[in-house]
Chains A and B, each alone.
Chain A
Amino acid sequence: SQQGEEDPQALSIQEGENATMNCSYKTSINNLQWYRQNSGRGLVHLILIRSNEREKHSGRLRVTLDTSKKSSSLLITASRAADTASYFCATELGGTSYGKLTFGQGTILTVHP
């Protein structure tokens, strides 16, 4: 079974609206990251939140982490057409998995101008 699962699988919004994506995981983690992938390209790191943090901000991005529910959310405020991409959460597991990431299925975000 997958470590990270994301919902929704796809999200379609208008420019200026907020977009929220959720990620759930199964085992304890050291940290959780969010990455963005434009169509057919490599991934770009957006933000990292450690297991002892609850919320983090970076520009228009806000990430929350609830370790009791094993879930995280990524909020993009005032979305733009250029935010259209796939968004993946990635977890670094606790224990001996140092440096190895497990990725979720991703959320495809489409922002209409």
Chain B
Amino acid sequence: EADIYQTPRYLVIGTGKKITLECSQTMGHDKMYWYQQDPGMELHLIHYSYGVNSTEKGDLSSESTVSRIRTEHFPLTLESARPSHTSQYLCASSKQGAVTQYFGPGTRLLVL
């Protein structure tokens, strides 16, 4: 069982609200990732970080932003949620020099 946590697990929120999805890992991994996954579909990388103060956009364009102030914490923020943001968001991490990723349980977001 991987030591990577996401909160909340489920979130139902109205259009226009600001939300932050939390992701924390206790494994000391330098690399962290955010993926977006619609039901029954593949994962799309939206953000990644190779260490503190390092953030990059992924392959899928996203209106969300991320920060990496501490090694263990990689929150994702949506300034103004829209129904098109409804999806599952998965956080993952990996060690420096390794390619295997460890995933959190995900946050299911529903924007009304």
The CA-CA distance from A9 to B75 in the complex, in Å, is 33
Q: Name which of B64-72, B78-86, B99-107 contacts chain A.
A: B99-107
A48 near B100 (CB under 8 angstroms)? yes
Known A-B contacts A43-B90, A99-B94; A2 and B102 likewise in contact (beta carbons under 8 Å): no
Size of the A side of the interface (Cβ < 8 Å), in residues, is: 25
The CA-CA distance from A33 to B42 in the complex, in Å, is 14
Residues from chain B with a CB closer than 8 A to the CB of A92 are 99
Which residues in chain B, 33-58, are within 8 Å of chain A measured between CB atoms? 33, 35, 40-45, 48, 50, 58
A33 near B100 (CB under 8 angstroms)? yes
The CA-CA distance from A108 to B92 in the complex, in Å, is 22
Residues from chain A with a CB closer than 8 A to the CB of B3 are none
Cβ contact of A41, chosen from B41, B48, B92, B105, cutoff 8 A: B105
Known A-B contacts A40-B108, A99-B31; A45 and B41 likewise in contact (beta carbons under 8 Å): no
Size of the B side of the interface (Cβ < 8 Å), in residues, is: 29
Residues of A within 8 A of B (CB): 2, 4, 30-31, 33, 35, 40-45, 48, 86, 88, 92, 99-106, 108
A-B contact pairs, 9 of them (CB 8 A): A4-B42, A31-B99, A42-B105, A43-B43, A43-B101, A45-B101, A99-B94, A100-B48, A108-B40
Beta-carbon nearest neighbor of A6 in chain B: B42
Beta-carbon nearest neighbor of A91 in chain B: B99
The residue in A48, A103, A108 that gathers the most chain B C-beta atoms within 10 A of its C-beta is: A103
Residues from chain A with a CB closer than 8 A to the CB of B35 are 103
Beta-carbon nearest neighbor of A9 in chain B: B40
B99 near A48 (CB under 8 angstroms)? yes
Known A-B contacts A48-B99, A101-B101; A42 and B90 likewise in contact (beta carbons under 8 Å): yes
Residues from chain B with a CB closer than 8 A to the CB of A86 are 40
Residues from chain B with a CB closer than 8 A to the CB of A108 are 40
Residues from chain B with a CB closer than 8 A to the CB of A4 are 42
The CA-CA distance from A44 to B103 in the complex, in Å, is 7
Known A-B contacts A105-B41, A106-B42, A108-B40; A45 and B106 likewise in contact (beta carbons under 8 Å): no
A103 near B106 (CB under 8 angstroms)? no
